[in-house]
Each structure stands twice: as C-alpha cells, then as structure tokens.
C-alpha cells in the first residue's frame, strides 16, 4: 500500500467520523455539527464585545469618559510607539474557553470564528489602507511543542476576511516560561529584547524600504508600509509594545495591536 493510499484512507476515515460522531463545542462540550465552527450558538452569543465607553488608545472600558478627565490608568504609562490596541472581547467565560480551545487543545477551526469577532477591533486600530498583519511569534521550542502559532492562525483568518497580507516579520529571540501569572512590570521586563526582525523576512522588508536621498535605505517618517500586530490575548500591552518597538525601529509604521481577547484590568496585577 502506497503512502498516498494510506493518506487517502486516513482522510476518508476522518471525514466519516466527523459525519457520524458530532463534534463538541469548544466552550461547553455540547454537540455541534461537524460542518460548522466548533462552538455552539449559545456560547457564541456569550462572547460579547467589551462594554462601552472604550479608551481610544488601549480599547478597555473607561469608568470616566468626560472632557478633561484624567488619562486612562491602563495605558497612560505606555511608550509612545504603542499607539493603540483593540480587542474583540474580555478574556473570561466562554471567550476564555475559546482561547484555551485554540491554544492548548489544538482546535484550529476556531481561528475563523475568532477573526470574525476581531474585525470591528481591527478597524478601530487601522486608519490607513491595507496594512500588513504581523503575528506575534512564539519561541521555537513552544511552536514545536504546540505545532502551530495561534497568533499566525488568527492573522491568516483576518487576511482571508480583509485581503490584507500576513508577513512573519518578527521572531522571538529569547524564550521563557509562560507569562500567565506575571504582573505588569514582570511582563515588561520579560518582553524587552525578546523580539527581533526575522532574518528570513529581511529581503521582503528591504524590498519595501523607501530609499533616501543619499541612498541609505529607510526613512521611517516617509515609510508608506504600515503594520498591525496580531495576538490572541492582550494583557498588559507589554508584548504588543515590544513588538511595536521592533517594527518602528525597522522603519515601519506600527498602527497598533489587535487581539481576540483582553484581560480585565482588575486581574492584571501590578
């Protein structure tokens, strides 16, 4: 039996199982049709937008939204290169279970559902036509372990919905344990210097570089190439800020970052 025949039989068996055995909702486990997104209608309805009013910079709910009010406590200390972030929903309830389903259970079919919910947030960040979508990279060991990069899957799904190009401009040059339990300052220290321009993307990047009058290459203030960072969850903004700093230093105009979920400020830590 040839390898092609074995793969064909395996594919047929997978299709047969999908048709006979219903899939389970990624959030609650109830049976859903195999020909649709692996999330039931009830759980999908519980993935709701972040309540208004939103801070125009960090995209989280502002308790005070008045002219002359104090700056937003969540983003007033952000560096200037992190211009704006926006997310589809808060990282709790059904939305948090959807994130875990994609990231830890390998339900990659969730990416399109999540990307559809991210579209309004993406358009809050983008004020220029057709930026490139830049997924936050995983450390090589983490990617090998997981088999995929969830941010890249989301960027690809957004690309299908918008027609915008996905470019893996960034790489992670320093790994480390999960940041799930780290506070703001710890995350900032961990993210600083953890990302760089991927050497494999240099040729692509140089092809878009505006040439200065002296022929030296990038002139950031005149660059027409804009980028949006894509991730599954934004917590303190430290990862988005570190990625934005690298992109800006390479001469791109980083418009901000977009994610499916945003950790509620009350549980971000100090």
- Spell out the CATH class of 49-267: alpha beta
pTM flag (> 0.85): no
Which pLDDT score is estimated for 224? 55
Which pLDDT score is estimated for 167? 96
Which pLDDT score is estimated for 188? 56
Map out the domains of the chain as residue ranges: 1-45, 49-267
pLDDT tens, per residue, the chain with 270 residues: 564 555 555 455 545 554 445 578 989 989 887 777 789 999 999 999 999 999 999 999 986 545 545 578 889 889 999 999 999 999 999 999 999 999 999 999 999 999 999 999 999 999 877 899 999 999 999 999 999 999 999 999 999 999 999 999 999 997 655 555 555 555 556 666 799 999 999 888 888 755 443 343 444 444 458 999 999 999 999 999 999 999 999 989 999 999 999 998 753 333
Which pLDDT score is estimated for 208? 72
CA angle 12, 35, 158 (to 5 degrees): 110
Which pLDDT score is estimated for 178? 56
């Amino acid at each position: 039996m040839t390898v092609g025949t074995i793969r064909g039989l395996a594919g047929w068996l997978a299709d047969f199982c999908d048709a006979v055995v219903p899939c389970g909702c990624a959030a609650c486990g109830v049976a859903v049709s195999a020909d649709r997104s692996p999330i039931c209608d009830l759980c999908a309805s519980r993935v709701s937008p972040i309540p208004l009013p939103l801070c125009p910079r960090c995209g989280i709910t502002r308790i005070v939204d008045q002219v002359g009010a104090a700056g937003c406590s969540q983003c007033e200390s952000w560096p200037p290169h992190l211009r704006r972030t926006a997310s589809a929903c808060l990282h709790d309830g059904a939305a948090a279970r959807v994130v875990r389903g994609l990231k830890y259970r390998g339900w990659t079919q969730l990416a399109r559902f999540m990307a559809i919910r991210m579209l309004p947030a993406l358009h809050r960040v983008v004020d220029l036509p057709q930026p490139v979508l830049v997924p936050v990279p995983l450390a090589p060991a983490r990617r090998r372990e997981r088999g995929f990069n969830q941010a890249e899957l989301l960027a690809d799904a957004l690309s299908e919905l918008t027609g915008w190009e996905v470019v893996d401009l960034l790489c992670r040059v320093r790994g480390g344990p999960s940041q799930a339990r780290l506070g703001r300052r710890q995350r900032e220290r961990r993210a600083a210097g953890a990302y760089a321009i991927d050497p494999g993307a240099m040729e692509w990047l140089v092809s878009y570089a505006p040439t200065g009058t002296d022929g030296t290459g990038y002139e950031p203030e005149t660059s027409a190439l804009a980028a949006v960072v894509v991730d599954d969850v934004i917590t303190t903004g430290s990862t988005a800020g570190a990625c934005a700093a690298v992109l800006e230093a390479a001469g791109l105009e980083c418009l901000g970052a977009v994610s499916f979920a945003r950790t509620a400020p009350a549980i971000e830590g100090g």
